[in-house]
Structure 1
């Protein structure tokens, strides 16, 4: 069996376990990376051209699936049914829609001119994405017909209010179209369930590296001081990479989680380096326990 045949077979089998949806690219990359060895480098072209014996192919399949399973433990996938229902509440609430349209307009007005081309509505839909219940264009090509109908590609610049009006019209028609033809896709949702933090706590070197980055000056070989405020500020800024959700104005549950964890720690205590390690470990383990009991789901566009 060639590597190409093996990967096609593996992807097909994995897709069957994921409700028949195509395997996301990051999972394919994780699987291929696990197959890396001196005899079969993990680049796609080399692997696909390699010929494997039945025993070798069997082991490669096990490694491939194990890599995907490990990746899903750290970053679970969420299936999302795009049926227009998630768009209706924001479209029906004038204040909510005005806030959403303003945020999208600001994100797209990169030159801060106060006007953007009407064609940016296409990018607005991509930006809102599955988090707002809008499937990728490739999964729902009917969106292209809706955009064409509304003259999105016309050479015209829109101010914020004009943009909001045009976006609302497009979203209303997209919602109606999805109500008639539902689309199931993987959601742009990040799940924080404590698994990534547990992996960090189990890796002594990685954990110590994170602790040292929290120290003022970060001078190797010297005792540093870190306060509870510094630890919290570091997690707010960098916690997402570690498996801690970042607080935001859109997520009261995350704010509550931080307040709950840090209320258990005496505020403002200055500690030596060794003590700081224990404090950080205690704080992260508290996050782990609370996230395992109540995972937090963060939509990609918030």
Structure 2
């Protein structure tokens, strides 16, 4: 489990398992529908117990050509089961998920440190006491939990209805007013019960963040026709027959900044760190190339490919995390906007407060 941070699911965990048909599966024939149910259960149990998005599951099934009416013997079913798990792993490699695993640990850390909890309760009370009366109603405890949010280990009410039961149990309802000390005592009891409930049954939430890790770009590079089509397009726009190497580099960069996301590059709008990535790649490719002579089409194609391969290498080591709705996680794991990311493997929780992830505005 993660300690309240974010966890990247990129298929690594699934590649390490050896899925088998359950002993409860009897009979010589297994239908596709039965196998799909078994396969989804296997992947779910290996990924914190949550169900993958439907698009990932359906795309994995397309990869292995399996439908609900197919009939398989046990050997065929075992083989298809392994194929399905690998297909899901491949889908996650191409399009990783970022999830928050809420298991109560961050809440326990607050509760175990008296000073931290006192500061938390004081800040929440101050925020909720909008009229500066020194009193808030019991019902504001709900808003306190909303204020804390996923970043501090509290699931949304829409995803964890048991929160309502916990509030009711501790009388955190109604208009009765509480002072700061009374509020802190009530909040402590509520958070303790919430931490216990999450420890027993953790909640996994998929974050609306896309990882750009070079996988899509490598697929593009492996497709010779698509690559040549793009090279032809840039070559025509660039007028490379007249421009020297420096002019070609400038025009290639302009094309990639405008069209890069379609190829698997991160968007550059309003984010200095991605601009720095572009600077680094073009500097690396141009390093030591002092000739500024006119480039023929073949040399121009080699130049474009070198640039894209360099991007793929950089993104593999330092993925860019793109907030699909421009959301910034200001109080938790994603605390600053930087490109200096570490290589992040699946199942590794990203520590709170460390500026490892670049969040980009929505495009």
What is the TM-score normalised by the length of structure 1?
Answer: 0.59
CA shift digits 1:257-286 (9 cap, x unpaired): 012112345599863321221111111122
Partner of residue 210, structure 1: 230
Q: 195-204 or 281-290, which moves further after superposition?
A: 195-204
2-side partners of 1:236 and 1:143: how far apart?
46
Q: 274-283 or 207-216, which moves further after superposition?
A: 207-216
Unaligned runs of 5+ in 2: 1-29, 108-122, 124-149, 165-189, 327-363
Q: CA deviation at 1:293?
A: 2.5
Decide which of 287, 292, 314 is 1:290's aligned counterpart: 314
What is the TM-score normalised by the length of structure 2?
Answer: 0.50
Establish whether residue 62 from structure 1 lines up as the match of residue 82 from structure 2. yes
Contact kept, 8 Å, 1:224 with 1:272, in 2: the verdict is no
Partner of residue 261, structure 1: 281
1-side partners of 2:42 and 2:325: how far apart?
31
2-side partners of 1:271 and 1:209: how far apart?
18
Partner of residue 331, structure 2: none
1-side partners of 2:68 and 2:53: how far apart?
19
Which structure: greater helix fraction?
1
Q: 75-84 or 203-212, which moves further after superposition?
A: 75-84
Change (3 A) 1:224 1:65: farther
Change (3 A) 1:53 1:201: same
Query: SS in structure 2 opposite 1:232?
Result: helix
Contact kept, 8 Å, 1:227 with 1:269, in 2: the verdict is no
Change (3 A) 1:269 1:15: farther
Change (3 A) 1:134 1:24: farther
Partner of residue 43, structure 1: none
Change (3 A) 1:134 1:230: farther
Matches within 5 A, 1:126-137: none
Change (3 A) 1:270 1:17: farther
Unaligned runs of 5+ in 1: 41-46, 85-91, 93-129, 145-175
Partner of residue 305, structure 2: 281
Query: SS in structure 2 opposite 1:78?
Result: strand
Change (3 A) 1:217 1:291: closer
Q: CA deviation at 1:8?
A: 0.7
Query: SS in structure 1 opposite 2:218?
Result: helix
CA RMSD of aligned residues (A): 4.4
Contact kept, 8 Å, 1:191 with 1:297, in 2: the verdict is yes
Change (3 A) 1:24 1:134: farther
Change (3 A) 1:51 1:301: same
2-side partners of 1:6 and 1:257: how far apart?
45
Establish whether residue 244 from structure 1 lines up as the match of residue 265 from structure 2. yes
Q: CA deviation at 1:224?
A: 10
Query: SS in structure 1 opposite 2:72?
Result: coil
Establish whether residue 197 from structure 1 lines up as the match of residue 217 from structure 2. yes
Q: CA deviation at 1:135?
A: 7.1
Change (3 A) 1:229 1:21: same
Q: Relative contact order (C-alpha < 8 Å, sep 6+): which is higher? A: 2
Matches within 5 A, 1:1-302: 1-36=30-65, 47-81=67-101, 139-140=159-160, 183-216=203-236, 227-249=248-270, 251-264=271-284, 271-302=295-326
2-side partners of 1:273 and 1:74: how far apart?
31
Query: SS in structure 1 opposite 2:68?
Result: helix
Change (3 A) 1:142 1:244: farther
Change (3 A) 1:135 1:33: farther
Partner of residue 161, structure 1: none
Q: CA deviation at 1:51?
A: 2.1
Contact kept, 8 Å, 1:189 with 1:297, in 2: the verdict is yes
Query: SS in structure 1 opposite 2:205?
Result: strand
